[in-house]
Amino acid sequence: MTDDTVPGRLGLIGCGQLGGAIAGALLRAGVVPPLRLTICTRSGPAGPMAEVAGIVWTADPQAVAQGCDTLLLALPPMAGRALRLAAGGRLVISVMAGVTLAQLATISGSPRRVRAMSNPAAQSGMAYSPFYAPGLSDADRAVTRAVFDACGLTDEVPEESQMDVFTAVTGPVPGFVAYVAQCMQEYAQSQGVAPDTARRAVAQLFRAAGTLMADSERPPAAFVQEMLDYAGTTAAGLAAMQAAGLPAAVAQGLEAARQRCLTIGAPED
């Protein structure tokens, strides 16, 4: 990756949990140098990016829209929906949950729009960042891929509806996985394991499980079936979890998150 992968000036509006992580990823990967990065927040320099020399800071989204060539919107969805940017024909990439491509047209007026999703694991290059961008030029697609390649894995999805699915499933990190880990730690503690021991053990389990599955082409179902076929202690636990409705509970939770995205993306009255 070279310093001109993102041509011109990149303007980031929002530098919090996600925007700051993406900015860190872009700088680390050399996709854009600090001298070609403008960051807009409500309150000036923020987070680790505040220590990076060369970045231009502003509290004026219009200054970003008119002074930059590519805009990356990483502010809260409701604040983003209220924005009106004189973005002209600039490339506008959004990672705002639920904000639709149609809303991005109203926000920016630009025909060059990307609806994307990422997560704070971008900081360490471990995010999954899908994007939806019908009609995007090859050049703009290359810039979009360069941005999200720096954050981890990326895919272009064929339907905008999938962006709400991914916002629910892969947007939160550690997100829902932390909830499962919490349940496992609390079980261990209920059996007399000391809290810090339980925490360390479960963290190591998720590190191992995540690495094993990420390094494999096998779907999670294959790992589960392998344990069921083994017919040992884990098989007994898996059968009990299925009988207790774990699959339905997970699906209900993810669907609730997806529905919240649809609420954000609903046309204003």
Ligand X SMILES: NC(=O)C1=CN([C@@H]2O[C@H](COP(=O)(O)OP(=O)(O)OC[C@H]3O[C@@H](n4cnc5c(N)ncnc54)[C@H](O)[C@@H]3O)[C@@H](O)[C@H]2O)C=CC1
Interaction between residue 171 and ligand A1CAB (CB under 6 A): yes
Chain centre distance of CA 24: 14
Binding site for ligand X (CB under 6 A): 13-19, 40-43, 46, 61, 74-77, 79, 95-97, 119-120, 171-172
Interface pattern 72-101 for ligand A1CAB (x via CB under 6 A): -------------------------x----
State whether residue 123 is helix, strand or coil.
Answer: helix
Closest distance of CB 53 from ligand X, Å: 19
Q: How far is Cα 161 from Cα 101, in angstroms, rounded to an integer?
A: 11
Stretch that binds ligand A1CAB, among 21-29, 67-75, 166-174, 241-249 (CB under 6 A): 166-174
Q: How far is Cα 118 from Cα 17, in angstroms, rounded to an integer?
A: 11
Where b means 16+ CB within 10 Å and e means fewer, 22-57 reads: bbbbbbebebbbeebbbbbbeeeebbebeeeeebbb
Closest distance of CB 16 from ligand A1CAB, Å: 11
Interaction between residue 16 and ligand A1CAB (CB under 6 A): no
Q: 78-81 — which CB contacts under 8 Å span 24+ positions?
A: 78/264, 80/14, 80/107, 81/107, 81/264, 81/268
Closest distance of CB 114 from ligand A1CAB, Å: 17
Radius of gyration of the chain (CA): 21
For ligand A1CAB, give the closer residue by CB, 65 or 73: 73
Interaction between residue 20 and ligand A1CAB (CB under 6 A): no
Nearest to residue 96, comparing CAs of 25, 3, 163? 163
For ligand X, give the closer residue by CB, 152 or 198: 152
In the bound state, the residue with its beta carbon closest to ligand A1CAB is 171
Q: What are the residues binding ligand A1CAB (CB under 6 A)? A: 97, 167, 171-172
